[in-house]
Amino acid sequence: MKKYIHIYLSLSLCVILNFNSYTLLAANRGKNVPKRNDSVFNVLEYGARGDGSSYDTKAFQAAWTATCKANGGVMVVPSGHTFLLQPIIFNGDKCQPNVAVQVDGIIVASTNKLDWKKNTGQWILFTKYKNGITISGNGGVFDGHGQTWWNPKADHERLVAPHAMTISNCNNVTITGIRIQNSPRMHIYIEESQEVKVFNVTVSSPGNSSNTDGIHLSRSQHVDIHNSTLACGDDCISIQAGCSDIKVYNVNCGPGHGYSIGGLGYRGSRALVSDIMIYDSNVQDSMTGVRIKTWEGGSGSVHNVTFSSITMTDVKTPITIDQHYGGARGGMAEASAVSITGITYQNITGTYTRTSVSLLCSEYKPCNNLTMAGIHLMPSKDKKQGRGGGPYCSHAYGEVLTETLPSLHNCLQPILK
């Protein structure tokens, strides 16, 4: 009898344990099982083929529409594929906050000129993101196929050469981990935007590709550009009217036209640029190193600019100010000019191939309060580069705080009071 009682109790305990186990599994069903991330949207799932020959523009647009609806949504462009895109606009005025684009594959621009008939100068346009957007990548490439645009004899029926990537009217933008190459015009064009960070970005185009600025800034504030390599056919970084609080550091520039402010004051326009810092960077095989250029007849000002700890290697003219950019109209300088004051050059070193320092300022609006310290520029040892010279100063006023090479004591005149 005791034997049967023992068996009965054992069976009862097993039933109870199994019941509790099933109850526990039911209660936790799915908790430890990976779920599909509802905030990630892969362009392949929206019809993109990624074969490099089929248009994927509509699929990208559909994937982005879905991404915008998710707070923190991410549109993924996967590796192992090449996606062909016509001009496309990613509009963020109805997007949830903190959306992102993750580019791990290759995106190429159409070379069919019919696709650019309605283009207004952009290939990939991000606009109206007021709540933040991140454009990042892990080996991702944007290829603008600019070779078909750079040839001045190319038949484009007066089509506007597009910028590769445009950021327009946005706040809180991050661009990182991508490569932009062979842009028809500017590689990254940033306008009317604030709180922009660009880092770990590579720009690559031949030195003879016309008007292919690496990063072009217009009417933008609080921009931070660092740890990037920019090689192009024009300014590595171009800073235009309406820009302030711009920091550039740990950037490698060349070939190209160096780091430029301007040209400002075109056709009598008013330009204001202030609080610019470019430091701890390099320039090589470039037309200019650090440059400020303004058109005659303009107005406004450039002030509080610092160029510091920049190494030049075989740069034609490392330090340049040109208030006669484009040449005097009618052979005579105009009485109006953009004012240039409070410019500091510190620890600018390296080699030049044409002119060490060229400060060609306006007799009507002389450059004033220029500061020079730690300037050490030698002619290039590469005889093929030509013969160096300078310095040249005209209507330039400031002070030299240390001994410089070449000597600038007799080049700058005492500060105007």
**What's the Cα-to-Cα distance from 67 to each of 61, 196, 269, rounded to whole Å?**
10, 21, 41
CA dihedral sign of residues 250, 251, 257, 259? negative
Q: Active-site residue 257, yes or no?
A: yes
Secondary structure of residue 149 in the 3-state scheme:
helix
Of 81, 163, 187, 257, the active-site residue reads 257
* Structure-derived torsion over alpha carbons of residues 56, 58, 62, 67, reported in degrees to the nearest 10: 50
Contact 124, 85 (CB under 8 A): yes
Contact 214, 187 (CB under 8 A): yes
Residue 174 CA to residue 329 CA, distance in Å, equals: 42
Of 213, 234, 235, 322, the active-site residue reads 234
Residue 259 CA to residue 348 CA, distance in Å, equals: 13
Q: How do the residues of the chain divide into helix, strand and coil, expressed in percent and rounded to 5?
A: 15, 50, 35
Q: Active-site residue 234, yes or no?
A: yes
> What are the backbone angles phi and psi of residue 13, rounded to the nearest 5°?
-65, -40
199 membership: H or E segment, kind and range: strand 194-199
- Helices and strands per DSSP (H, E), number in the chain: 3, 29
Residue 345 CA to residue 33 CA, distance in Å, equals: 60
Residue 349 CA to residue 308 CA, distance in Å, equals: 10
Residue 185 CA to residue 163 CA, distance in Å, equals: 5
Dump the DSSP string for 4-19: HHHHHHHHHHHHHHHH
Q: Is the previous residue joined to 162 through a cis bond, with omega within 30 degrees of 0? A: no
Catalytic residues, by residue number, are 234, 257
